[in-house]
Amino acid sequence: DGGITQSPKYLFRKEGQNVTLSCEQNLNHDAMYWYRQDPGQGLRLIYYSQIVNDFQKGDIAEGYSVSREKKESFPLTVTSAQKNPTAFYLCASSMEADTQYFGPGTRLTVL
């Protein structure tokens, strides 16, 4: 089946710890995106990548890092510099300039 997978579904982080969220797609999409969703808010863009080995900051990139070594994969690392990381994280992908499709999300909680 074609689609976007995210893992893990739930993730817990201790203070000062870096954690990595996985996003994989087998849709052959060029572009991939990471969004953050907080209660009562819409989605806000963290990072996006249009092609392999290239990515750009979104609106709230501070405290996050990404890599795009393969077309299918776009992992997001939440670093200890992110002071309020508890949120729901959604990954999306699209063909160039087309509709974005979303994965099932990862819920990150800071202990």
Partner 1 sequence: AQTVTQSQPEMSVQEAETVTLSCTYDTSESDYYLFWYKQPPSRQMILVIRQEAYKQQNATENRFSVNFQKAAKSFSLKISDSQLGDAAMYFCAYRISQGGSEKLVFGKGTKLTVNP
- Applying CB under 8 A, which residues contact partner 1? 31, 33, 40-45, 48, 50, 56, 58, 88, 90, 92, 94, 96-97, 99-105, 107
Whichever of 45 and 110 has its CB closer to partner 1, that residue is: 45
Q: Which two tokens stand for residue 51?
A: 């092609």
Query: 52 or 102, CB closer to partner 1?
Result: 102
Apex 104 CA angle, 37 and 27, nearest 5 = 115
Nearer Cβ to partner 1 (97/111): 97
Q: Measured from the CB of residue 15, what is the shortest distance to partner 1 in angstroms?
A: 25
How many Å apart are CA 68 and CA 111, to the nearest integer? 29
How far, in Å, CA of 9 to CA of 71, rounded?
22
- Shortest spacing between CB 41 and partner 1, in angstroms: 6
Instruction: Tell whether omega for the bond before 8 is within 30 degrees of 0, i.e. cis.
Output: yes
Q: How far is the CB of 45 from partner 1 (least distance, A)?
A: 5
Q: How far apart are CA 72 and CA 99, in angstroms?
A: 17
Query: In the complex, what is the shortest distance from the CB of residue 91 to partner 1, in angstroms, rounded to a whole number?
Result: 10
